[in-house]
Chain A
Amino acid sequence: MSSQYRDIVEDGLWKNNVVFSQLLGMCPTMAVTTSGTNGLGMGLATTAVLLVANMLVSSVRNYVSVQVRIPVYIVLIAALVTVVDMTLNAYLHDLYKVLGMYIALIVANCSVLGRAEAFAARQPVLASGLDGLAMGLGFTGALTLIGLIRELLGGGTLFSQASLLLGQSFAFMEMTVIPHYGGFLLMILPPGGFLVLGLLLAGKRVLETRRSTAKPAMPTPTLAAHCGV
């Protein structure tokens, strides 16, 4: 059993990473990774939704018939995101002002529906929750990494405005790596997102090919065919 859980975690964080392997959730990936802080915020909000959505879907999986499963999952996910949106707005208003624009975007993130369909619909609640958590953390890591690279090349800083997201005690994370840097606008504009993602994808492929020199690298998982948002 524990090896199954280890596989789930490894899948989510690295082997089957939402961004780098499944190539899902490209819309938020490109749109918000203009800084490390933005990537982190979007990643954490998505992780929370993935975790709860997976557990919800898993707990109703025995009652939902195959024919209507997609509408049911969509309704569940959309309702969940809206509840999160309203609750954050009401009780964590300062955090909501920073994350606000990302929350609604989570509904459009294909990886949430993708995990519901590919994992939670077939697995027990605990394993599904763990899968949501691992996939979410993998997504968070990827978004933060892309954001940091774009921010560093584009503006010469790292984690700027992290204290707005995480609170004043995290102000130490804000770093100016290259002082008096003129800025490289392209990296912050949309092409920068594509460039950085492409290079990181290629890098991951190279790493994996080197690791498994004995057997050829596995093709990209079939799930990517579901949708391309």
Chain B
Amino acid sequence: MNLDQFREKLGYHSLVLGVIALAASASLALTDNSTHGAIKAAEKRDLQQSLAQVLPSGFADNDLLKDQVTVKDADGNAVVVYLPRLGATSKGAVFEVSGRGYAGEIKILMGVDPAGRIVGVRVLKHQETPGLGDKIEAAKARWIYDFDGKSLGQPAPEKWAVKKDGGQFDQFAGATITPRGVVKAVKGGLEFFAAHKDEIFAAPPAVAGKEP
């Protein structure tokens, strides 16, 4: 039986499909194996960079990835709070909040000092309209820096809104829903911090070399 005849058989089709599937899975397994460590390291570096962005340099000297505590928010969701420390002094808290934008969830990382003043806010992830809503990114506009130094009393609670709603934060031309969502989420974050302050600062400093 020559090859041309064998090619018409059902067994040949299965064989070809099987061999290709095997080769594809093997190449995927190999790639996953060789890239796994590098991807994990890159994601860790990403988180470190975001954490570093909301905290000024020299603000804390501990490893934030190890010094963290999990707190339940008002809705019962677990929130991971990173605890920056300088020596033994607690310098505040860094945590993620999320708001609703024009096109879904906006993930925000914010840093707060022990007195409840904002140290820094950064948007981690969003799907807002490019060129309009994406001005909430620090890389694209200065808007997000407006939050620095603000707290629940400064400005007054009713001023925690975009200008269109009578507040003091700018909206963007053609996009109000996005900044409105961010302002609301950041205010919510401050309220979360105020309500759980004792719980957050009750956590003991991480012992070097021990995972939390």
A interface residues (Cβ-Cβ under 8 A, vs B) = 34-35, 38, 60, 63-65, 67-68, 71-72, 75-76, 78-79, 82-83, 86-87, 89-91, 93, 97, 151, 154-155, 157, 160-161, 164, 182-183, 185, 188-189
Report the Cα distance A9→B36, complex, angstroms: 38
A157 with B131: CB separation less than 8 A? yes
Contact with A along B162-186 (1 / 0, CB 8 A): 0000000000011000000000000
Q: Could you give, for residues 63-93 of chain B, a 1 whenever the CB lies within 8 Å of some chain A CB and a 0 otherwise?
A: 0000000000000000000000000000000
B59 at the A interface (CB under 8 A): no
Contact A151 B16 (CB under 8 A): no
Contacts of A90 in B (CB 8 A): 34-35, 38-39, 42
Are B24 and A75 interface neighbours, CB within 8 A? yes
Q: How far is the CB of B152 from chain A (nearest CB, A)?
A: 33
Residues of A within 8 A of B38 (CB): 90-91
Q: List 6 A-B contacts (CB under 8 A).
A: A68-B16, A79-B27, A83-B27, A83-B28, A157-B131, A188-B129
CA distance A67 to B10 in the complex (A): 9
B130 partner residues in chain A, CB cutoff 8 A = 34-35, 38, 188
Q: A72-B17, A76-B20 are in contact. List 6 more A-B contacts (CB 8 A).
A: A65-B13, A79-B24, A83-B31, A86-B31, A86-B35, A164-B139
Interface string of B1-31 (1 = CB under 8 A from A): 0000001100011001100110011011001
User: Does the CB pair A34–B131 fall under 8 Å?
Assistant: yes
- Nearest CB of chain A from residue B157's CB, rounded to whole Å: 32
Chain A residues whose C-beta falls within 8 Å of the C-beta of B140 in the assembled complex: 161
- Taking a contact as CB atoms under 8 Å apart, the answer to whether B16 and A183 are in contact is no
**How far is it, in angstroms, between the C-alpha of A189 and the C-alpha of B129 when the chains are bound?**
8
Of the candidates A34, A68, A164, the one whose C-beta lies within 8 Å of that of B17 is A68
Contacts of A97 in B (CB 8 A): 46
**Contacting residues, chain A, for B7 (C-beta < 8 A):** 65
Contact of A89 among B24, B39, B129 (CB under 8 A): B39
B132 at the interface (CB under 8 A from A): yes
Known: A65-B7, A75-B21, A183-B174. A82 touches B131 (CB 8 A): no
Q: Which residue of B lies closest to A83 (CB)?
A: B31
CA distance A183 to B139 in the complex (A): 20
Which residues from chain A contact B105 at a C-beta distance below 8 Å? none
Contacts of A71 in B (CB 8 A): 17
